Amino acid sequence: MTGTFSPAIPVYLGAALSYRFPGQSSWTNSNSTQRIFPGSANVTVPLNLSPTPLIEQSSIAIEIYASSVPPGATIWLRWGASSAPSLVVVPMSDYEGLFPANIITVQDRAGNIPPYFYLDAAPPNNYVVVKAFVFSALGTTEIQQGRVNMTIHDPNGRPVRGATNLTMSIATSTSPYEFIAAWSYPSNSTQGTYLVYIDMVDSQGNLVYSFRGPGGTFGLVPPGFVPFPYNILPYLVVAGVGGIGTVGGVFYYRRRSKSYLAPFGHFNTLTAGELDGGTVSIEGNTGSGKTILSEQLMFEDLKRGRPCIFVSTSDFPSNVRSGMKSMGLEVKGYEQSGLLTFVDGYSAEAGQESTEKFSVPSIGDLTTLGMKISSSLPPQRSKGTSLYFDSLVPLASKTKPESIVSFVQSIGAKMKGIGGKAVFTLGPSVDPMVQKQLEDMSDCVVQMEAFEERGVRRRRLKIAKLRARRHQEGWNVFAIEDGKGIIFYSKKPKT
């Protein structure tokens, strides 16, 4: 900065940073000035900025000006010249992250999501594939010039060889951007639980986001591994009887265990009776049976003459009807009698016109969705009506996490107020904080899991929470059969 100055009049260099959200005409400004003196000098003008949550397509403007310039004075501003390096530093954060928030996927090479991997797997079946969806408010160029790195930690907390600060490959060119990395684990790896860490580095080398869980875990297990509690079920603990081994004076011997097939009514044995009014959360990974469980619970209500509303956000209602029919759950008669009503939250998202009496143009509009649910209550006989909502997962990308919690709380209270229950299904892609809040407010929490055991696909569930009632704890194995739905494996014969 050079010029001719009058010593009697101070001159100031001013700077302003302004931002404007998309669609708005007014700017929000932050200004500051710095006095300058005769002669050449480098000038720094700091601006005090409060953290500002910008959104995509926001506009930012930088302004530099001189004020109180005396008459006849001349000021030259050398900006960007080699003799006068110039720059604007705008501290930013949270402009990159995972989408949905804090969620990554651990798969095998076939795209399945197993809870663990066998150490004796032969190449190429010994690959752990990690996928992450990333958003960037600064667009594709920033994503391509930056890096997304993956590090896998073994059960002892040490980074593993071949997956330490490994740069993930970008697989898509539109937001959210899919990143993929794979680790080929050696057969002599330490058995136990492994953790996946994700770090995002921007084009300037700044660490802008780190993922450290929850989630992002997998297990490496030896051949023949059987998960808890199945690894202890076939054993009896006896004293003073010879067996295959002893620990602390207690003897164990293995017996051939028997299991009996039990129809869906066995579920009421697990819950010590029918589920009363309130909020029920059904959680589980992909393929664990969340939808069929909610459908069978609803069918039991319909058989008892209780009105039901089914909100479908993951499939067309027509597919829900046909799927239930294939499981022996024919609902046509209940619809004709007015006991069952569908609310279509899927067709509009799929770009098709709904054929249902009740539908919503967008599942992200929770106000309209709540109004449609209220409108679908059977007139003159709404008492005892229950709501079945499958699923909350599509809402995660359409609305704020706190809005989902508020919506579930409001709908659950409404259904409980008329003597019914509200049943919601949710998967692992729902924000962990949202899931925790839903569990806290729920009267009942059912956890389900699909897993592989010695190459065989299996399913199990447990009642993780049931307010004010004693219930059976622990996992219960079940199967899904055409024409029958859920069939439990019970240790006691059905009488």
> pLDDT confidence of 81, banded at 50, 70, 90?
low
Quote the CA–CA distance of 46 and 43 in Å, as a whole number.
10
pLDDT single digits (tens) 465-480 = 999 889 998 999 999 9
Helix (H, G, I), strand (E, B) or coil at 432: helix
> pLDDT confidence of 293, banded at 50, 70, 90?
very high
Quote the CA–CA distance of 81 and 85 in Å, as a whole number.
6
Give the closest residue to 425 by CA, choosing from 286, 217, 270.
286
> pLDDT confidence of 57, banded at 50, 70, 90?
low
- Round the average pLDDT of the chain to a whole number and report it: 85
Residue pair 178/169 in contact by the 8 Å Cβ criterion: no
Q: State yes or no: pLDDT of 166 exceeds 80.
A: yes
Work out the average pLDDT over 80-108. 76
List the chain domain ranges: 2-76, 96-221, 260-490
pLDDT at position 237: 39
pLDDT at position 7: 55
> pLDDT confidence of 299, banded at 50, 70, 90?
very high
Give the closest residue to 98 by CA, choosing from 195, 182, 21, 213.
213
Work out the average pLDDT over 25-43. 82
- Written as one string, the DSSP assignment of 271-316 is TTS---SEEEEEEE-TTSSHHHHHHHHHHHHHHTT--EEEEESSS-
pLDDT single digits (tens) 120-144 = 998 888 999 999 989 887 888 888 8
Please enumerate, as own/partner, the contacts of 208-212 that have beta carbons within 8 Å and a separation of 24 or more. Answer: 208/93, 208/94, 208/95, 208/96, 209/94, 209/96, 209/97, 209/98, 211/98, 211/102, 211/104, 211/132
> pLDDT confidence of 420, banded at 50, 70, 90?
very high
Quote the CA–CA distance of 226 and 204 in Å, as a whole number.
48
pLDDT at position 232: 41
Q: State yes or no: pLDDT of 1 exceeds 70.
A: no
CA distances from 157 to 153, 168, 241 (A): 5, 21, 42
Work out the average pLDDT over 405-422. 94
pLDDT at position 250: 34
**Where are the extended beta strands (E) located within 154-277?**
166-167, 169-170, 177-184, 192-201, 207-211, 217-221, 235-238, 245-247, 250-254, 260-262
Q: State yes or no: pLDDT of 493 exceeds 80.
A: no
Q: State yes or no: pLDDT of 261 exceeds 90.
A: no
Tokens of 345: 């939250």
> Which of 329 and 48 is assigned the larger pLDDT?
329
Give the closest residue to 12 by CA, choosing from 31, 29, 30, 37.
37
pTM listed for this prediction = 0.51
Q: State yes or no: pLDDT of 173 exceeds 90.
A: no
Plot region of 273 (φ>0 → left; ψ -120 to 50 → alpha; else → beta): left
How many Cα neighbours within 13 Å face the side chain of 197?
Answer: 16
Q: State yes or no: pLDDT of 245 exceeds 50.
A: no
> Which of 94 and 379 is assigned the larger pLDDT?
379
pLDDT at position 244: 39
Alpha-helical (H) ranges within 358-450 are: 366-375, 401-417, 432-441
How many Cα neighbours within 13 Å face the side chain of 149?
Answer: 19
Quote the CA–CA distance of 1 and 14 in Å, as a whole number.
13
pLDDT at position 234: 42
> Which of 241 and 8 is assigned the larger pLDDT?
8
Give yes or no on whether 96-221 and 260-490 have one common fold.
no
Q: State yes or no: pLDDT of 83 exceeds 70.
A: no
- Length of the chain (residues): 495
CATH of 96-221, one of 1.10.10.10, 2.60.40.1930, 3.90.110.10, 3.40.50.300: 2.60.40.1930
Tokens of 234: 């076939």
Amino acid identity for residue 180 in this structure: I
Q: State yes or no: pLDDT of 240 exceeds 60.
A: no
pLDDT at position 150: 97
Q: 260-490 domain in CATH 3.40.50.300?
A: yes
Residues 6+ apart with CB under 8 A from 402: none
Tokens of 418: 């008329």
pLDDT at position 226: 59
pLDDT at position 144: 85
Q: State yes or no: pLDDT of 256 exceeds 80.
A: no
Tokens of 356: 């249902």
Other beta carbons less than 10 A from residue 12's beta carbon = 16
Give the closest residue to 37 by CA, choosing from 72, 16, 71, 68.
68
Calculate helix-pair angle for 401-417, 432-441, nearest 10 degrees. 20
Lowest mean pLDDT: which of 88-92, 244-248, 278-282, 309-313?
244-248
Residue pair 104/130 in contact by the 8 Å Cβ criterion: yes
Quote the CA–CA distance of 304 and 118 in Å, as a whole number.
46
Helix (H, G, I), strand (E, B) or coil at 270: helix
Quote the CA–CA distance of 217 and 195 in Å, as a whole number.
5
Work out the average pLDDT over 227-239. 43
CA torsion sign, 463 to 494 to 291 to 379? negative
Tokens of 184: 């080929």
